[in-house]
Amino acid sequence: MQALYAQLLVGLINGSFYALLSLGLAVIFGMLNIINFAHGALYMMGAFCAYFLLNIAGIGYWPALIIAPIVVGIFGMILERTMLQWLAGLDHLYGLLLTFGLALIIQGVFQNYFGSSGLPYAIPSELQGGMNLGFMFLPIYRGWVVVFSLIVCFATWYLIEKTRLGANLRAATENPTLVRAFGINVPRMITLTYGLGVGLAALAGVLSAPINQVRPLMGADLIIVVFAVVVIGGMGSIMGSIITGFALGVIEGLTKYFYPEASNTVVFVLMVLVLLLKPTGLTGRAA
């Protein structure tokens, strides 16, 4: 029974990565209508950015949590300005193909220079060690990841659903012509939104660097699962992707306990079931 509690907690920790990543995807899809397949590659860039900051500039983990998302976010905005914006109004497939190609190129470049086995990144000294919870040994760093992700997820949700800026954004995606008539610069808003989504991915990358090796393929391994999370939660639904992210982490953790061989496929089995029963996803609205 103790082991089960431990698995639940570990699942929650993995769930925080799923939530952060799927949140970014949902924001980008909801606002820009782009299925951002480059998300995994941008997550990986976040981790590499933290590595470079530490090893080249001597900048540690805490500043990296802010700098890396900004740097990668700016890179994302350049992508949006130079490439993605031309796809506005076209079929989803074009965005998917373009971002998928971008992901392959980015990963290929990193792999070419840094190989596949990855680079080390240590846990910051303040968060080293762990505490005995009775039923498991919880590394402090992992506890921090859960708390921090929850805060970021909630803040993003609040920004989009409850603030004036978020209201403008949502209106801009519903009816850009009308919003433009109110004097709001719609293209700039869209660029900033893409930057925000990308920044969230990079933030997850920095968070994951001390746990996983910083590897060029770290995003590629994760992205498919995260897509399943977004589909299950309902494409574009902010709250749906947060809740589904955490829930799937837990379900996956339980699978690892009861039937480890299936742990990589359980998410997709769930996706099939959800799509059969409710094609719009758990919290999605019908198009």
Partner 1 sequence: MKHHISALFLGTALALAAGSAFAQDKTVKIGVLTDNSGLYSDLGGAGSTLAAQMAVEDSGLAAKGWKIDVVSADHQNKPDIGTTVARQWIDVEKVDIFVDVLNSGVALAVNNLVKEKNAIMINTGAATSDLTNTQCSPNTIHWVYDTYMLANSTGQALVKAGGDTWYFLTADYAFGHALERDTSAVVVKSGGKVIGTVRHPLNSSDFSSFLLQAQASKAKIIGMANAGGDTTNTIKQASEFGIVAGGQKLAGLLLFINDVHSLGLKVAQGLNFTETFYWDLNDGTRAFSKRFSERMKNKAMPSMVQAGVYSGLIHYFKTIDAMGGNPHDGVKVVAKMKETPTDDPLFGKGTIRPDGRKLHPAYLFEVKKPSESKGPWDYYKLVGTTPADQAFRPLSESACPLVKK
Q: Which of 14, 36, 193, 283 touches partner 1 by CB under 8 A? A: 14
Looking at beta carbons only, is 31 or 102 nearer to partner 1? Answer: 102
Minimum distance, C-beta of residue 238 to partner 1, in the bound complex (Å):
25
The phi, psi pair for 136, rounded to 5°, reads -160, 165
Least CB distance from residue 123 to partner 1, whole Å? 7
Decide if residue 212 touches partner 1 (CB under 8 A).
Answer: yes
**What's the closest the beta carbon of residue 46 comes to partner 1, in angstroms?**
15
Could you give the string, one character per residue 93-112, with x where binding to partner 1 holds by CB under 8 A and - elsewhere? ---------------x--xx
Is residue 221 at the binding interface for partner 1, with CB under 8 A as the rule?
Answer: yes
Tell me: does residue 122 bind partner 1 (CB under 8 A).
Answer: yes
**Cβ(234)–Cβ(280) under 8 Å?**
yes
CA distances from 211 to 91, 108, 142 (A): 38, 23, 8
Q: How many binding residues for partner 1 (CB under 8 A)?
A: 43
Which candidate, 174, 271, 282, places its Cα nearest to that of 234? 282
Identify which of residues 115 and 279 has a Cβ nearer to partner 1 in the complex: 115
Residue 256 interacts with partner 1 (CB under 8 A): yes or no: yes
Among 218, 223, 231, 232, binds partner 1 (CB under 8 A): 218
Task: Single out the segment in contact with partner 1 by CB under 8 A; choices: 35-43, 137-145, 239-247, 269-277.
Answer: 137-145
Binding site for partner 1 (CB under 8 A): 2-3, 6-7, 10-11, 13-14, 108, 111-120, 122-123, 129-130, 136-137, 139, 141-142, 211-213, 215, 217-218, 221-222, 253, 256-257, 260-261, 263-264
